[in-house]
């Protein structure tokens, strides 16, 4: 916060104008009490060629509680797994909507028991980084782009969480044993095949123990038809406002409809070249409810005959909740054979 006591606001995409010279850091997450950027957990210092100056980040720091008005303009497997996957004990209970660009709501605890978080270890504590989805007692799926920046030893997988700032009952952390990237990740189109399978290390001889707050999601069948208009649930601790860099403290969830790929490939949306067969779009072309930064890697589950199946993994989008820029998801049904082959070794 550069010594300013009133908090900070993050601005993306060169809001203060593009910089010049080498780009030294790609992803960084600071606590706010560091004295230099170098103290923030981000080991990959060095010129980064993946970013453009049009993506430069800016931070606005506040004196005391002075804040300019928030901009609310939307423009700005095992047998056990098979039996219990996809069943939440708590029915999603809508609460009054609050003003958030992502448009989601705080999820009822236990309503998304498959939603896990990937955290990055800092010097004194860990930080939320991405979402992930439990699919068995040893395995989670996430977005490949979520686990490419750091060595696997710097990540922690947390299951059973709801309020990130307190230790919830039944919350557990695991170390990652292996990260399996999809072999065709980022081949061809940017973020193509954005899926990775994590195997966690057993903790005191046990994998993930399933409880009312911790359960796997079911995998869809390979032949699942992604019908436009199907309403599915996304969840995560990602950013809840386009203008706020802060992540949600409590798990958020929202319902979004699957969009026609044809509509998503229109030139005013993403055009024909950005979407591959392993992707699909969901959300609202008029803008509003959407996944956002920090949600990626997390689940989109769709209800089929009383079960929740993992149809999508939150992957990318231009901004959050912008008109004609819906969320893009990894199409899990296209990767069932790969997932099974990795799990079965």
Write out the residues near ligand 4AZ by the rule CB under 6 A: 290-293, 295-296, 314, 316-317, 320, 327
3-state helix, strand, coil in the chain (%, to 5): 10, 30, 60
* Phi, psi dihedrals of residue 301, rounded to the nearest 5°: -110, 140
CB 167 to ligand 4AZ: min, Å: 26
Catalytic residue among 137, 145, 161, 315: 145
Q: Extract the runs of DSSP E, i.e. beta strands, from 102-230.
A: 105-106, 115-121, 126-134, 139-142, 155-159, 172-181, 196-200
Q: Are residues 195 and 328 in contact, defined by beta-carbon separation less than 8 angstroms?
A: no
Structure tokens at 177: 């044993």
| Residue 43 CA to its chain's centroid (Å) | 21
Question: Which of 33, 31, 34, 24 is closest to 57 using CA atoms?
Answer: 24
Task: Assess whether 194 carries a catalytic annotation.
Answer: yes
Q: Are residues 307 and 253 in contact, defined by beta-carbon separation less than 8 angstroms?
A: no
CB 292 to ligand 4AZ: min, Å: 5
Q: Which is nearer to ligand 4AZ, 162 or 247 (CB)?
A: 247
Q: Which is nearer to ligand 4AZ, 107 or 313 (CB)?
A: 313
CB 293 to ligand 4AZ: min, Å: 4
Q: Please identify the residue of the shown chain whose CB is closest to the bound ligand 4AZ.
A: 317
CB 327 to ligand 4AZ: min, Å: 4
Task: Assess whether 296 carries a catalytic annotation.
Answer: yes
CB 110 to ligand 4AZ: min, Å: 24
Q: Which is nearer to ligand 4AZ, 154 or 254 (CB)?
A: 254
Q: Which is nearer to ligand 4AZ, 102 or 136 (CB)?
A: 102
Radius of gyration of the chain (CA): 19
Task: Assess whether 168 carries a catalytic annotation.
Answer: no
Q: Which is nearer to ligand 4AZ, 194 or 309 (CB)?
A: 194
Q: What DSSP designation does 83 have?
A: H
CA separation for the pair 196, 305 (Å, rounded): 27
Catalytic residue among 194, 235, 239, 253: 194
Which of helix, strand or coil describes residue 245?
Answer: coil
- Give Cα separations from 227 to 98, 280, 284, 298, 320 (angstroms): 30, 11, 15, 21, 23
Q: Could you give the residue numbers annotated as active site?
A: 145, 194, 296
């Amino acid at each position: 916060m550069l010594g300013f006591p009133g908090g900070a606001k993050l601005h993306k995409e060169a809001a203060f104008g593009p910089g010049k010279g080498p780009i030294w850091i790609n992803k960084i997450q600071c606590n706010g009490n560091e004295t230099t950027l170098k103290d923030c957990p981000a080991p990959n210092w060095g010129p980064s060629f993946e970013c453009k100056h049009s993506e430069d980040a800016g931070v606005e720091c506040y004196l005391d509680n002075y804040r300019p008005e928030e901009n609310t303009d939307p423009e700005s497997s095992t047998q056990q797994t098979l039996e219990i996957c996809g069943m939440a004990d708590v029915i999603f209970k809508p609460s009054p909507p609050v003003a958030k660009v992502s448009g989601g709501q705080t999820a009822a605890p236990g309503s998304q028991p498959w939603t896990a978080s990937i955290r990055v270890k800092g010097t004194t504590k860990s930080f939320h980084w991405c979402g992930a989805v439990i699919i068995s007692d040893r395995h989670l799926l996430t977005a490949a782009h979520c686990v490419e920046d750091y060595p696997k030893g710097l990540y922690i997988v947390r299951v059973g969480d709801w309020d990130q700032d307190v230790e919830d009952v039944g919350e557990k952390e695991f170390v990652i044993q292996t990260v399996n990237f999809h072999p065709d990740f980022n081949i061809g189109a940017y973020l193509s095949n954005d899926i990775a399978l994590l195997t966690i290390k057993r903790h005191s001889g046990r994998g993930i123990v399933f409880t009312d707050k911790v359960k796997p999601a079911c995998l869809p069948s390979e032949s699942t038809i992604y019908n436009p208009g199907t309403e599915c649930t996304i969840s995560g601790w990602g950013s809840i406002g386009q203008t706020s860099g802060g992540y949600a403290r409590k798990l958020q969830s929202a319902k979004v409809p699957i969009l026609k790929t044809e509509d998503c490939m229109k030139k005013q949306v993403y055009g024909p070249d950005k979407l591959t067969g392993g992707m699909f779009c969901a959300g609202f072309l008029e803008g509003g409810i959407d996944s956002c930064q920090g949600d990626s890697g997390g689940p989109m589950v769709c209800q089929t005959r009383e079960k929740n199946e993992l149809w999508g993994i939150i992957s990318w989008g231009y901004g959050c909740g912008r008109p004609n820029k819906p969320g893009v998801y990894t199409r899990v049904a296209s990767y069932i054979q790969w997932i099974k082959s990795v799990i079965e070794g």
